[in-house]
């Protein structure tokens, strides 16, 4: 028995903190989703399949040595870019957007893969470059990032393209992007805001921003989602209305309960206490990632863990800020909770890579 | 490969930046938690309420309107049930198939089918009742009842319409109901702290509101209190389940003092002539007979007139909508004489022995103007009693001449002139008890002595409504001890008017009664032809209202060619003597003779009242 245990310890790479907390989050997600989908068994079975498959995938992804990802990151990126290009031409069109590739048993949102592949590639690319990152490398990587982001933006998918942009920028930032560069870029960004407002934003996107500023201006139109979401959250109170008792969710007042607004359902049914419990699990995962980044074995691992964990953090934050009405409504799922296979799988892969990096020590460190 | 120091600084740099972002987001997350806290804890009650309002929909349940009875317990106004076929659309997918099945035994017109098809999709979406057919016949109901097991989603629902069982008899006294305007509806609902919502109507024509008469004055009592049905709804407004039911409180029934038999008699006697009859029970001032003629059908008004019918009523020269009893202004004419006589006694101007010489006219000393009586050559030497019986104008001209108008006004005001004498009449007119100030304001002329003299015979500016004349009659009958009039039994709100004068003794009242009895019973009485119409004693005073002043009978003959210029006939009476129970006033426009035209109507109504006691 003891030998067998040691054997497993030596041959199997797993970070039990992350694995347990992510499994816990996934199971909670299924429970929440059951209520949010108003007891739709089909949804739950499908999602359960993704969760089980995702956990398995995470386990598999965490087995190879990080060097495997470092050496093959370009292949992964190219592979996922090809998928995005295929999607652009042959993707399934839903509501005027081509984001999905129909694989028969499952429709894949290809841009979700780039979300992981890009930071890994950038970290690998910067692995043997002098750091802090120099101007030349900054520009080459920026051009690459913007090209890829634009590829997703024209699908169109503003939410995902933004998150890809953020993921890429995190790596640059962590790689030591000079503060002066950041300051100048930020200044240019602020100055070009009116230009972006007028030329890059669709009317409905502008409306969403305006709605955020004054949701009561049109409570039954553009303000409906956010108004109902706030009512759902607020009426949950301290203890919530009880599982499956949320009237806002169950009587269809709340939109998109299974995806973007699932947090509102949780807040309505489990109250502030439930919200705090959920947030502490997220917090635990993030702090664990911070710890792992500190103890990462090399620069590639550091940058990757840092970048992917910040990607995770940003996604969670954007979703939550959106449903409580701090930022405009953008399509952004709550990781491991919201319905949707692609986003779920991309995060399992991301954490699989993080676990791989956390568990494989360099020979000299062993 | 890489310098160790450089590696160390790069690592530290990386950690600093990573922690920087974590801290940055940490702050944002604190704000996020604060925001959630403020939603869920600080503003919890607001959002809890908002959530509750979101998911509930209140339906108002209309109360049943009170029934109106006459004083003998006969129903006058009732709620007539009608039966509608109602569909609960929840489980119905193919409305056309259902219509086809129903059409096999209950005929649905094309218009009805079209209407059902129009409203069905929306009603089904919101889960609201669909009315398939209104006003089912008993045969249709029976046909449905034997098949109802096949139609679990259909039921027969009772709806009401307001029905006056005597649509022409009580048009002005009880009045009619109609639909509410939005403003009035808001007012009614807010009085019950309700909001305007979807309503479950008890009445087939929706919200009801008294528009005139008792229906209006007692609307609040008759209306009752709205109930509520509270449903849970989803975001689309679809009804899910009934959560709570607060039943409506039916309106109170009103037991009026109106007397159906006498009302019928009055209506028949008036026979569509323009005029009015008001009779009261003098013991409590309750109105027993109240007819304004010509009349109209209140049921037609309440349930919708065609434009033609409406135009016809509005343009009718006889003005059937006009409530002559409460709003018609008529000179009291000679009927005022008993009150003027009492004034003379009150002011010690005369006593029952006092006589004057009546040459048939009175000359106003100030300007030599001649005021004529009705009898050429006059009544000779005449006292107060005979002046009432024979209706001498000269006597009262000269009596009025000896008074000041303000004193006379104060006196007549006691008798009900110039003021509202009814507690619950609909828009009563106050008539006119003229004053010098009024004349100055209205006609821009000063008060002449001649104006006072005219008041002495109830002509000139003074006028009164039939209600006021009935009040005056009741006042005489009770010797100045009468309640304000009311349409309901045992009205607790009414004031009692008790007239006190140290100079007017009981014997004076008796003498007045005797004089008024003489109007009918004395050979010289002006209403002698009424004697044979009854078998008990009536006290009365007739009057003939001159619309156009004429010098001679010949002149009047020319005038009367135009019906509208003929004199109004007027009479006040009370009976049975010597212990009167009822007082009455009758006005017949252009009826010419108070005694012989208005008189028989008054006697017939009194007969009905006295005999039925």
Q: Which CATH number fits domain B59-255: 3.40.50.2300, 3.90.1310.10, 3.30.1330.60, 3.40.50.720?
A: 3.90.1310.10
- Mean pLDDT calculated for residue range B366-375: 86
The pLDDT score that the predictor gives to residue B512 is: 95
- Mean pLDDT calculated for residue range A63-88: 92
Neighbouring residues of B255: CB distance < 8 A, sequence distance ≥ 6: B69, B71, B73, B488, B489
Q: What is the pLDDT of residues A96-142, one digit of tens each?
A: 778 888 877 788 888 899 999 999 999 999 888 887 788 888 899 99
**Residue of A310, A314, A326 lying closest to B32 (CB–CB):** A326
% of chain A with per-residue pLDDT over 90: 54
- B51 vs A279: CB contact, 8 Å cut-off? no
Starting at the edge strand that comes first in sequence, how are the strands of the sheet with A92-94 ordered? A92-94, A97-102, A107-109
CB B185 within 8 A of CB B284: no
The pLDDT score that the predictor gives to residue B555 is: 80
CB A363 within 8 A of CB A67: no
Q: To the nearest whole angstrom, how far is the Cα of A351 from the nearest Cα of chain B? A: 18
| pLDDT over threshold 90, residue B192 | no
* Parallel, antiparallel or unpaired: strands B209-210 and B177-178: antiparallel
A248 chain-B contacts, CB cut-off 8 A: 51, 54-55
The pLDDT score that the predictor gives to residue A365 is: 45
Assess B4–A contact: CB distance below 8 Å, yes or no. no
- B51 vs A248: CB contact, 8 Å cut-off? yes
- How far apart are alpha carbons A63 and B390 in whole angstroms? 131
DSSP three-state, residue A54 = helix
The pLDDT score that the predictor gives to residue A7 is: 64
Closest by alpha carbon to B68, among B266, B225, B251? B251
**Residue of B21, B36, B54 lying closest to A253 (CB–CB):** B54
Q: Residue B203 carries which DSSP code?
A: B
- Mean pLDDT calculated for residue range B538-562: 84
Question: Is there a domain that residue A366 lies in?
Answer: no
The pLDDT score that the predictor gives to residue B473 is: 96
CB A2 within 8 A of CB A331: no
DSSP three-state, residue A219 = coil
**Residue of A235, A238, A252 lying closest to B47 (CB–CB):** A235
Q: Which residues of B533-569 are buried (b: 16+ CB within 10 A; e: fewer)?
A: ebeeebbbbbbbbbbeebeeeeebeebeeeeeebbbb
- Mean pLDDT calculated for residue range A3-17: 76
B334 is catalytic: yes
Give the per-residue SS3 of B484-496. CEECECCCCCCCE
Superfamily classification of domain B261-313+329-611: DD-peptidase/beta-lactamase superfamily (3.40.710.10)
CB B118 within 8 A of CB B95: no
The pLDDT score that the predictor gives to residue B128 is: 85
| pLDDT over threshold 60, residue B392 | yes
Total tally of structural domains belonging to chain A: 1
The pLDDT score that the predictor gives to residue B33 is: 94
- Mean pLDDT calculated for residue range B78-103: 89
- How far apart are alpha carbons B446 and B438 in whole angstroms? 9
Q: To the nearest whole angstrom, how far is the Cα of A108 from the nearest Cα of chain B? A: 30
DSSP three-state, residue B577 = strand
Nearest residue in A to B13, CA atom: A176
Phi, psi for residue A218 in degrees, rounded to 5: -145, 70
- How far apart are alpha carbons A153 and A162 in whole angstroms? 8
% of chain B with per-residue pLDDT over 70: 99
Question: Is there a domain that residue A142 lies in?
Answer: yes
| pLDDT over threshold 50, residue B549 | yes
Max avg pLDDT among A203-212, A240-249, B235-244, B560-569: A240-249
| pLDDT over threshold 80, residue B407 | yes
Question: Is there a domain that residue A364 lies in?
Answer: no
> Domain containing A355: what range?
13-359
Q: How far is CA A338 from the centre of its chain?
A: 11
**Residue of B11, B17, B40 lying closest to A271 (CB–CB):** B40
pTM, two decimal places: 0.74
Neighbouring residues of A242: CB distance < 8 A, sequence distance ≥ 6: A269
| pLDDT over threshold 80, residue A202 | no
CB atoms closer than 10 angstroms to residue B27: 10
* Parallel, antiparallel or unpaired: strands B198-200 and B209-210: unpaired
CB B233 within 8 A of CB B55: yes
Assess B142–A contact: CB distance below 8 Å, yes or no. no
Higher local confidence (pLDDT), A282 or B559? A282
% of chain A with per-residue pLDDT over 70: 94
- Mean pLDDT calculated for residue range A193-203: 82
Q: What is the pLDDT of residues A302-321, one digit of tens each?
A: 999 999 999 999 999 999 99
Mean pLDDT of chain B: 90
Nearest residue in B to A286, CA atom: B22
The pLDDT score that the predictor gives to residue B22 is: 93
- Mean pLDDT calculated for residue range B170-177: 94
Question: Is there a domain that residue A195 lies in?
Answer: yes
Q: How far is CA A265 from the centre of its chain?
A: 20
Q: To the nearest whole angstrom, how far is the Cα of A325 from the nearest Cα of chain B? A: 9
Assess B10–A contact: CB distance below 8 Å, yes or no. yes
Structure tokens at B45: 């009650």
- How far apart are alpha carbons A36 and A210 in whole angstroms? 28
- B234 vs A286: CB contact, 8 Å cut-off? no
- Mean pLDDT calculated for residue range B302-314: 81
Question: Is there a domain that residue A27 lies in?
Answer: yes
- How far apart are alpha carbons A45 and A47 in whole angstroms? 5
CB atoms closer than 10 angstroms to residue B365: 9
- Mean pLDDT calculated for residue range B259-287: 95
The residue ranges of every structural domain in chain B are: 4-42, 59-255, 261-313+329-611
Q: How far is CA B111 from the centre of its chain?
A: 38
CB A106 within 8 A of CB A92: no
Q: What is the pLDDT of residues B424-452, one digit of tens each?
A: 999 999 999 999 999 999 999 999 999 99
* Parallel, antiparallel or unpaired: strands B481-483 and B380-383: unpaired
Band (A366; pLDDT cuts 50, 70, 90): very low
| pLDDT over threshold 70, residue A1 | no
Helix A41-61 × helix A341-359 angle, to 10° = 30
Band (A3; pLDDT cuts 50, 70, 90): low
- Mean pLDDT calculated for residue range B390-402: 93
Q: What is the pLDDT of residues A204-251, one digit of tens each?
A: 778 877 877 776 766 777 778 888 999 999 999 999 999 999 888 888
Question: Is there a domain that residue A180 lies in?
Answer: yes
- A252 vs B234: CB contact, 8 Å cut-off? yes
């Amino acid at each position: 028995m003891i030998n067998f245990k040691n054997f497993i310890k030596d041959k199997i790479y797993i970070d039990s903190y992350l694995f347990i907390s992510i499994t816990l989050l996934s199971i909670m997600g299924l429970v929440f989703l059951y209520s949010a989908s108003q007891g739709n068994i089909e949804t739950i079975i499908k999602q359960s399949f993704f969760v089980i498959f995702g956990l398995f995938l995470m386990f598999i992804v965490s087995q190879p040595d990080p060097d495997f990802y470092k050496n093959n990151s370009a292949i992964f990126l190219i592979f996922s870019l090809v998928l995005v290009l295929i999607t652009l031409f042959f993707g399934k069109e839903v509501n005027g957007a081509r984001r999905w590739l129909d694989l028969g048993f499952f429709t894949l949102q290809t841009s979700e893969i780039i979300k992981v592949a890009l930071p890994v590639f950038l970290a690998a690319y910067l692995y043997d470059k002098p750091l802090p990152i120099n101007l030349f490398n900054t520009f080459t990587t920026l051009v690459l990032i913007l090209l890829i982001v634009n590829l997703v933006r024209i699908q169109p998918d503003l939410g995902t393209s933004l998150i890809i942009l953020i993921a890429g920028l995190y790596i640059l930032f962590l790689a030591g992007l000079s503060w002066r560069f950041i300051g100048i870029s930020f200044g240019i960004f602020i100055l070009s805001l009116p230009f972006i407002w007028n030329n890059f934003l669709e009317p409905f996107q502008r409306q969403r921003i305006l709605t955020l500023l004054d949701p009561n201006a049109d409570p039954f139109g553009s303000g409906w989602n956010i108004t109902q979401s706030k009512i759902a959250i607020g009426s949950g109170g301290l203890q919530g209305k009880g599982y499956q008792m949320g009237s806002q969710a169950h009587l269809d007042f709340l939109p998109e309960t299974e995806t973007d607004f699932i947090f509102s359902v949780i807040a309505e049914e489990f109250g502030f206490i439930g919200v705090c419990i959920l947030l502490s699990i997220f917090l635990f995962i993030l702090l664990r990632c911070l710890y792992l980044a500190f103890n990462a074995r090399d620069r590639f691992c550091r940058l990757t863990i840092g970048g992917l964990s910040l990607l995770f953090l940003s996604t969670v934050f954007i979703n939550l800020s959106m449903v409580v009405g701090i930022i405009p409504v953008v399509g952004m799922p709550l990781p491991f909770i919201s319905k949707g296979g692609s986003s779920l799988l991309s995060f399992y892969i991301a954490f699989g890579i993080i676990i791989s990096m956390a568990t494989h020590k360099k020979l000299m460190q062993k | 490969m890489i310098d160790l120091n450089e590696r160390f600084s790069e690592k530290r740099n990386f950690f600093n930046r990573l922690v920087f972002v974590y801290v940055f987001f940490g702050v944002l997350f604190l704000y996020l938690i604060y925001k959630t806290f403020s939603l869920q804890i600080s503003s919890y009650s607001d959002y809890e309420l908002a959530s509750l309002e979101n998911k509930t929909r209140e339906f108002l349940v209309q109360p049943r309107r009170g029934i109106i009875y006459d004083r003998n317990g006969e129903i006058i106004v009732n709620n007539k049930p009608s039966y509608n076929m109602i569909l609960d659309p929840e489980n119905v997918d193919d409305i056309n198939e259902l219509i086809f099945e129903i059409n096999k035994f209950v005929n649905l017109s094309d218009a009805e089918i079209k209407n059902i098809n129009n409203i069905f999709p929306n009603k089904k979406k919101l889960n609201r009742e669909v009315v398939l057919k209104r006003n089912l016949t008993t045969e249709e109901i029976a046909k449905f009842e034997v098949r109802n097991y096949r139609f679990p989603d259909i039921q027969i629902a009772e709806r009401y319409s307001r029905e006056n069982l005597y649509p022409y008899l009580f048009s002005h006294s009880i009045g009619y109901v109609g639909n509410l305007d939005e403003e009035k509806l808001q007012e009614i609902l807010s009085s019950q702290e309700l909001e305007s919502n979807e309503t479950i109507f008890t009445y087939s024509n929706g919200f009801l509101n008294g528009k005139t008469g008792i229906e209006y004055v007692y609307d609040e009592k008759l209306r009752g209190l709205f109930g509520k049905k509270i449903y849970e709804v989803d975001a689309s407004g679809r009804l899910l389940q009934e959560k709570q039911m607060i039943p409506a409180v039916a309106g109170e029934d009103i037991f009026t003092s109106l007397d159906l038999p006498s009302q019928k008699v009055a209506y028949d006697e008036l026979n569509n002539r323009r005029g009015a009859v008001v009779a009261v029970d003098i013991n409590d001032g309750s109105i027993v007979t109240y007819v304004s003629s010509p009349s109209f059908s209140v049921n037609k008004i309440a349930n919708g007139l065609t434009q033609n019918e409406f135009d016809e009523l509005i343009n009718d020269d006889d003005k059937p909508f006009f409530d002559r009893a409460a709003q018609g202004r008529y000179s009291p004419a000679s009927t005022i004489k008993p009150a003027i006589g009492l004034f003379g006694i009150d002011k010690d101007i005369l006593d029952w022995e006092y006589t004057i010489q009546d040459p048939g006219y009175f000359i106003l000393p100030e300007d030599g103007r001649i005021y004529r009586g009705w009898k050429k050559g006059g009544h000779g030497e005449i006292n107060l009693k005979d002046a009432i019986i024979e209706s001498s104008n000269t006597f009262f001209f000269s009596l009025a001449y000896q008074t000041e108008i303000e004193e006379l006004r104060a006196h007549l005001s006691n008798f009900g002139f110039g003021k509202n004498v009814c507690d619950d009449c609909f828009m009563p007119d106050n008539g006119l008890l003229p004053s010098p100030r009024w004349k100055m304001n209205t006609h821009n002329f000063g008060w002449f002595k001649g104006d006072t003299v005219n008041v002495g015979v109830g002509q000139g500016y003074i006028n009164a409504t039939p209600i006021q004349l009935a009040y005056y009659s009741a006042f005489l009958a009770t010797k100045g001890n009468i309640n304000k009039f009311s349409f309901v039994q045992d009205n607790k709100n009414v004031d009692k008017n008790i007239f006190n004068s140290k100079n007017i003794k009981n014997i004076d009242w008796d003498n007045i009664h005797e004089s008024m009895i003489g109007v009918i019973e004395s050979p010289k009485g002006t209403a002698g032809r009424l004697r044979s119409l009854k078998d008990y004693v009536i006290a009365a005073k007739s009057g003939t209202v001159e619309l156009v002043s004429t010098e001679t009978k010949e002149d009047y003959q020319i005038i009367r060619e135009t019906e509208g210029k003929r004199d109004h006939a007027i009479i006040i009476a009370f009976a049975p003597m010597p212990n009167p129970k009822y007082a009455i006033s009758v006005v017949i426009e252009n009826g010419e003779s108070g005694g012989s035209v208005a008189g028989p109507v008054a006697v017939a109504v009194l007969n009905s009242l006295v005999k039925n006691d």
